[in-house]
Amino acid sequence: MAASTVFNRHRQTFDIAGRLLIAAVALVFALTPVLLIVSASLDPRNNIVTQSIIPPGASLKNYQALFASNIHPYGIWFWNTLKISVISSVLTVLICSISAYAFSRFRFKGRRGLLLSVFLIQVFPNSLTMVATFLLIQAIGLFLPSFGLNSHGGLILIYLGGAMGINTWLMKGYFDSVPRSLDESARIDGASNWQIYWRVILPVVRPILTVVALISFIAAYSDFLIPQIVLQDTRQFTIAVGLTLFVRAGEYSRNWGIFAAGALIGAVPVVTLYLFLQKFLVRGLTSGAVKG
């Protein structure tokens, strides 16, 4: 018995040590790029070749140059990105929640076919539809310039179309977990379907609304390919597109530190949202994943 106890203790010790080692390796792997970006943003030499973890003579010179540039209006890019991401996420949550409520609570002809169609559309990668999307937005711009090429409205339309499928399924799974007795009680009190959706269901499904809002916000905030295709005017650019101007045509030697400063500032909204909404994220993802 004594030998068995000692063996179990040693095994537990090795198990804990192994987990700590794996966690340490994961932390180093995850934090090293962040440290390099922070270091580059504070390095006044502004050169990727001579960059080090602890830059000599660290200063905020790159941050000052980032906002002082008249050729590359970073402040406008930041505002554009926030505006597009917030509008896209709000509209995505509103449209997808209405769709999910209809699929979850009502039974109508073609319901199953529509659900499967929405799901199958998401199977194909977005890159396959780039040409069609470009031509469609170009055609819309002939009648509604605010939703055509080189417009934020057109970009938001594209994001809304791409977000409908998977988010509708994710919300439906969560809506199915809400007891129907809530609907029946509200209907007995004289509530309409819209009142049940707005005043009864939405407050209950707040975690999944937060998940979808954050996913949609990050997708629009960090996207590069679609804005690169749709937006043509420099002052219409988002952060992801605009920052490439600092490192194009071999300008790493002059603008690497400025690029790093812009990337670091651009990451602040997403990190802040994660910190404030992590409680709702865990609850929303786990509940929506096992119900439906």
The structure tokens listed for 178 are: 């809400």
Percent of the chain whose predicted confidence (pLDDT) is above 70: 87
pLDDT in tens, 138-188: 999 999 888 988 899 999 999 988 777 788 888 888 888 888 888 888 888
| pLDDT classification of 287: cutoffs 50, 70, 90 | low
- Predicted pLDDT at 286: 55
| Separation between Cα atoms, residue 152 and residue 4, nearest integer Å | 68
For position 289, what pLDDT does the model report? 44
pLDDT at res. 108: 80
Is residue 216 a contact partner of residue 92, using CB atoms and an 8 Å limit?
A: yes
Burial of 157 (C-beta count, 10 Å sphere; 0-12/13-18/19+) = buried
pLDDT digits (tens, 9 = 90+) for 202-231: 888 888 898 899 989 999 999 998 999 899
* pLDDT of the residue at 58: 77
Residue tagged 């990337």 (tokens): 263
Selected from 3.40.50.1820, 3.40.50.150, 2.40.50.140, 1.10.3720.10, the CATH number assigned to the domain covering 72-290 reads 1.10.3720.10
Q: Is the pLDDT of residue 39 over 60?
A: yes
pLDDT at 292 over 50: no
**Which tokens hold the place of 136?**
């469609």
> Which residues have C-beta within 8 Å of that of residue 117, sequence separation ≥ 6?
none
For residue 291, pLDDT beyond 50: no
By the 10 Å C-beta count (0-12 exposed, 13-18 middle, 19+ buried), 105 is classed as middle
Taking alpha carbons only, the member of 152, 123, 118, 127 closest to residue 137 is: 152
CA distances from 217 to 11, 88, 132, 138 (A): 45, 7, 24, 25
Quick: pLDDT tens for 61-95: 888 888 887 778 899 999 999 999 999 999 999 99
Q: Average model confidence (pLDDT) for the chain? A: 83
245-272 average pLDDT score: 82
The confidence score (pLDDT) of residue 42 equals: 85
Q: Return d(Cα 204, Cα 226) in angstroms, integer.
A: 34
Q: Residue 164 burial (CB < 10 Å; 0-12/13-18/19+)?
A: middle
Tokens of 264: 């670091």
Res 16: pLDDT: 82
For 106-123, the pLDDT digits (tens) are 888 877 888 788 777 777
| pTM: predicted TM-score of the whole model, two decimal places | 0.84
**Inter-residue contact 205 to 97 (CB < 8 Å):** yes
**Which among 147-156, 171-180, 244-253, 269-278 has the top mean pLDDT?**
147-156
Q: Is residue 40 within 8 Å of 257, Cβ to Cβ? A: yes
Contact yes or no for 104/176 (Cβ under 8 A):
yes
